[in-house]
Amino acid sequence: MKLFIEKKWLLVTVAAALLLSGCSSVEQSIQDTIDTSVESLNKTKAENQPVAAEFIRHVDGDTTVLRIDGKEQKVRFLLVDTPETVKPKTKVQPFGLEASKRTKELLSTASEITFEYDSGDKIDRYGRVLGYIFVDGTLLQKTLVSEGLARVAYVKEPNTKYLLELEEAQEKAKNESLGIWSIPGYVTERGYK
């Protein structure tokens, strides 16, 4: 009988140990999942924060090459479109050169350039990084729109963080007939005539 009780206690002890180690394993698995989720969330938050950038070279009014996190990136400015200057099989459009020169001027003379992703797509179909550019603390896209050198365009949720601000600047430029808005019928929903 004593042997039976000892075996019973041994069996209970082993079962308890296995059960506890199983709980520990489940607990660890849950903790690992939480840690991974928090890490992913922090990375996403970090990606949407402005980061220092360096001007490398100019492309046109709404595209440039910046060094971001040590890597050269061709960057397409979110939420704006400037008239074309370098598009193959397309003539230089009115105010295209002005927009291109203004973008180059702002970036090449900036004391500080920062780049910011939005929460949607990070890269377009041409492999360009999508984001907002700040020149000495001012949103470059807003400067171009305010001066009548760009229109608000390519609005795709959820990349709309500064949309309201840009639409307000566009309305003001339109009301003052600045740049692209000075030519009746030139600006369309699909671009420029």
Q: Is 90 exceeded by the pLDDT of residue 13?
A: no
End-to-end distance of the chain based on CA atoms, in angstroms? 100
Residues 19 and 100 in one domain: no
Task: Out of 47, 54, 128, 168, pick the active-site residue.
Answer: 128
The residue segments making up the domain with residue 5 are 1-47
Residue 84 falls in the annotated catalytic set: yes
pLDDT of residue 40: 39
One domain, residues 94 and 178 = yes
65 has a pLDDT exceeding 80 = yes
Name residues whose C-beta falls within 8 Å of residue 104's C-beta, 6 or more positions apart in sequence: 58
87 and 113 in one domain?
yes
State whether the Cα torsion 17-23-24-26 is positive or negative: positive
* pLDDT of 47 above 80: no
131 and 65 share one domain: yes
Residue 57 shares a structural domain with residue 43 = no
Q: What pLDDT was estimated at residue 37?
A: 36
pLDDT at 16: 58
H/E stretch holding 169: helix 163-175
Q: Does the pTM of the predicted model rise above 0.85?
A: no
Active site (annotated) includes residue 67: no
Is 128 an active-site residue?
Answer: yes
Note whether 157 and 112 are same-domain residues.
yes
Mean pLDDT of 33-56: 64
Q: Are residues 68 and 37 in the same domain?
A: no
Length of the chain as a residue count: 193
CATH at residue 86:
2.40.50.90
Which member of 76, 102, 116, 151 is catalytic? 76
Q: How far is CA 85 from CA 29, 32, 128, in A?
A: 55, 51, 18
C-alpha torsion angle, residues 145, 148, 154, 156 (rounded to 10): 30
Between CA 187 and CA 46 the distance in angstroms is 36
Partners of 134 in beta bridges = 114, 139
